Amino acid sequence: MPNPAAMTDGKQISVAATAIALRGVRLFLTAGKAAADRPVAAPSQPATRNKRKQKQVVAGGKPPQKVFDMLLKTSKFNKPELEALYTMYRRLVTSAQAAAPASAIGHPPKIDGIDQSTFRDVMHNTFDLVTEEAILERMWMTWERGAAGGEGSLRFESWVRGLSVLLRGNVEERRLYCFKVYDLNNDGYITRDEMFSLLRNALLKQPGDEDPDEGVRDLVELVLRKLDVDKDGRVSIDDYRQAVDQEPLLLEAFGQCLPSKRHAIAFLKTLVNKT
């Protein structure tokens, strides 16, 4: 891998800052390989937030026919896969209900879809997205919810549409998804401040570093030179699209938000096995 210091056009970077920059570049260049080397967890066994015994779930059935027909047209899953995803969805929702604390009057909580904690568990344990909490938070925010999507939780339709992009999205869909995750304030641009926030969360302080933020700022400038195609000091979706076309490894430059090919294939195989 080329030395990132060579990209600074003669600007001197401290030894500590260079070390942080190198570590950051390796972070996004090797994220896919590291994930591919880890074992794949069974998606039907989401992690729970306590050790309370889970009640037996009777999974199966089909979503409402109208929803089912719509997803056959708008997602990249076939009928048997959608049925398997619905079984999994019901299991995840019921597990979340069983794991959540009861109300003051002892009633189980009402959960109308996949909650954020369950979503985080699946991303970690099924897709092995060992990424920063800020990235997981942004992933959760970008999946469709709201009044039509579950009022804070993921309904089945939103779950399937999100997985469709995550697992079978084309190049453009994956680019748009990653860009939305990195665009922290949803204004259509990835700014220096947003890059700094994302990379600062991802990098660890080196022993002896007096000002690790200096290294992060240098890394921001290095990455900005790659992504800011029109040189206006911020990255638009068009900038991002062109930069990723030239260097596909820049797709997840600010943190892993897509599963490795290995984990995507393993998950899809489980859908086939359930049919």
d(CA 207, CA 220): 21
DSSP secondary-structure letter at 10? T
Residue 23: what pLDDT? 44
Domain of residue 183, CATH code: 1.10.238.10
3-state secondary structure 171-237: HHHHHHHHHHHHCCCCCCEECHHHHHHHHHHHCCCCCCCCCHHHHHHHHHHHHHHHHCCCCCCCEEH
Q: List average pLDDT for each run of 10 residues in the chain, which is 275 residues long.
A: 43 40 43 45 46 40 79 94 93 83 56 85 90 88 65 85 95 96 94 92 60 83 93 96 94 92 93 69
Burial class (CB in 10 A: 0-12, 13-18, 19+), 61: exposed
3-class state of residue 190 by DSSP: strand
pLDDT at 17: 40
- Which residues face 190 on adjacent strands? 235
**What torsion do the CA atoms of 136, 143, 179, 16 make, to the nearest 10 degrees?**
-10
Q: Domain total for the chain?
A: 1
- The predicted model scores a pTM of 0.73
Give the pLDDT score at 60.
Answer: 44
Q: How far apart are CA 157 and CA 122, in angstroms?
A: 17
Supply the pLDDT for residue 57: 38
pLDDT at 214: 82
Task: State the residue range of the domain holding 205.
Answer: 4-49+57-273
Which three-class secondary structure state does DSSP give residue 54? Answer: coil
